[in-house]
Amino acid sequence: MELPEDIDDDTVADVADRHGTPTYVTSAATVRDRFDRLRDAFPDARIQYAAKANTNPRILRLLRERGAALDTVSLGEVVAGERAGFGGDEMMYTSYAPSPDELAEVVDRGVLVNVDSAGQMETVLEAGADRVGVRVNPGVGAGHSDEVVTGGKGARFGVSPDEAAALFERAVGAGADPACLHAHIGSGFTEPEPLVRATERLCEVVGDLPVTPEYVDIGGGLGVPYREGEEPLDVAALGEQVRDAFNVDATLVVEPGRYLVAESTVLVTRVNTVGDGVVGVDAGFNVLLRPAMYDAYHAVTNLSRDFPVAEYDIAGPICESGDYLAHGREIAKPREGDLLAFQTTGAYGFVMASRYNSRPLPAEVLIDDGIELIRERETVEEQFRNVKLD
Ligand SMILES: Cc1ncc(COP(=O)(O)O)c(C=O)c1O
């Protein structure tokens, strides 16, 4: 699998020398390229990057400069957006079971909230919102694994179409503008069909609302190839089919996270131990959770040598027998000190990292005009900064 644009073995070695490992290394050119592809596919849409995939404010700023708006799920993501320069009107907030205090704070910052319960609607109106959105379950779900399907039967996200109409009525009655009908069906589908079906369904729902909202947000979920030879989602075809299905007088919003950032990034990790068929590296599920959490596949390469090739499991340093980043991979036979690169780690990589085993959070680097450190590695001591002993 090819490395992202502007990232090669020498760049990575340079990053590791300067900033250590494990480190997430992101190509600005690849992020821009994916945004531009999406813009070409959806020329008139509001492209609203789902910050949850990668919240580093430097990457958010890069996307904002390209013309992206921002979808957030927490006050933390709203603050990350503000740090990156997003105004309240350039962000939406779509969360499950947020606290009333958090909702009030988000409304106060001028961010449009997509509610998904009658209680949330009341809280948002009480907080003085003059615009509000409603998240609906369009009855369609899709995703790379059950954990990430968020629409269809049994999903806990979004209200029914009837309830959406009632919540629109409620907003109008309270003098607020019901400005958005929102849905998100799941994450990581690689065919246009589910999103096209959801778009059709959303347009039907709009027909039954008391007013047509300014925005109809069809959510994200656009998948990317993780394995060599996997067919990428045809975003141009997706754009065409969604635009054909979109027959309401509203601004179309697409809300991808993964698609915009996943392929831009490699996780660079150093080999600390080489055993018989197993190699131990300095990144485990504390740094990259997806393999342990979803049994996800990330292609891996030994950047330090090309041959001879042998098959290895790649284990992290966490004291759990399940701490593997990969199983049975053919890589150039590693030696201690070698650098390995895990690919396609720009989405749901750093943001899902933890301090488990009291290992500090990794560093993040952006390759744009040279090597830019965009998040310093946390120090061991910094992990304990909020601890009170007396
Ligand atoms: C409301 C909402 N929008 C957008 C996304 C982005 O999904 P993806 O990164 O798969 O595009 C998610 C992901 O969980 C989401 O919950």
Instruction: Write down the pLDDT at residue 107.
Output: 98
**Ligand 1 centre distance from Cα of residue 386 (Å):** 31
Name the residue with the closest Cα to ligand 1, atom 5: 220
Instruction: Write down the pLDDT at residue 367.
Output: 98
In terms of CATH architecture, what is 9-24+262-384?
Beta Barrel (2.40)
Question: How far is 104 from 87, CA to CA, in rounded Å?
Answer: 17
Other beta carbons within 10 Å of 6: 15
**Region of residue 33 (left: phi > 0; alpha: psi -120 to 50; beta: else):** alpha
Instruction: Write down the pLDDT at residue 157.
Output: 81
**Ligand 1 centre distance from Cα of residue 167 (Å):** 23
Stretch(es) of the chain classified as CATH 3.20.20.10: 28-257
Our mutation pick for probing the ligand 1 site, out of 48, 71, 344, counting the most ligand atoms within 8 A of Cβ, is 71
CB 104 within 8 A of CB 127: yes
What is the phi/psi pair of residue 259, to 5°?
-55, -35
- The pTM assigned to this predicted structure is 0.96
**CB of 194 closer than 6 A to ligand 1?**
no
Q: What is the pLDDT of residues 346-381, one digit of tens each?
A: 999 999 999 999 999 999 999 999 999 999 999 999
Q: What is the pLDDT along the chain (390 residues), one digit of tens a residue?
A: 899 999 999 999 999 999 999 999 999 999 999 999 999 999 999 999 999 999 999 999 999 999 999 999 999 999 999 999 999 999 999 999 999 999 999 999 999 999 999 999 999 999 999 999 999 998 877 777 777 677 777 777 889 999 999 999 999 999 999 999 999 998 889 999 999 999 999 999 999 999 999 999 999 999 999 999 999 999 999 999 999 999 999 999 999 999 999 999 999 999 999 999 999 999 999 999 999 999 999 999 999 999 999 999 999 999 999 999 999 999 999 999 999 999 999 999 999 999 999 999 999 999 999 999 999 999 999 999 999 999
Name the residue with the closest Cα to ligand 1, atom 16: 184
**CB of 95 closer than 6 A to ligand 1?**
no
**Ligand 1 centre distance from Cα of residue 261 (Å):** 12
Stretch(es) of the chain classified as CATH 2.40.37.10: 9-24+262-384
Q: What is the DSSP string of 23-48?
A: EEEEEHHHHHHHHHHHHHHSTTSEEE
Q: What CATH code would you report for 28-257?
A: 3.20.20.10
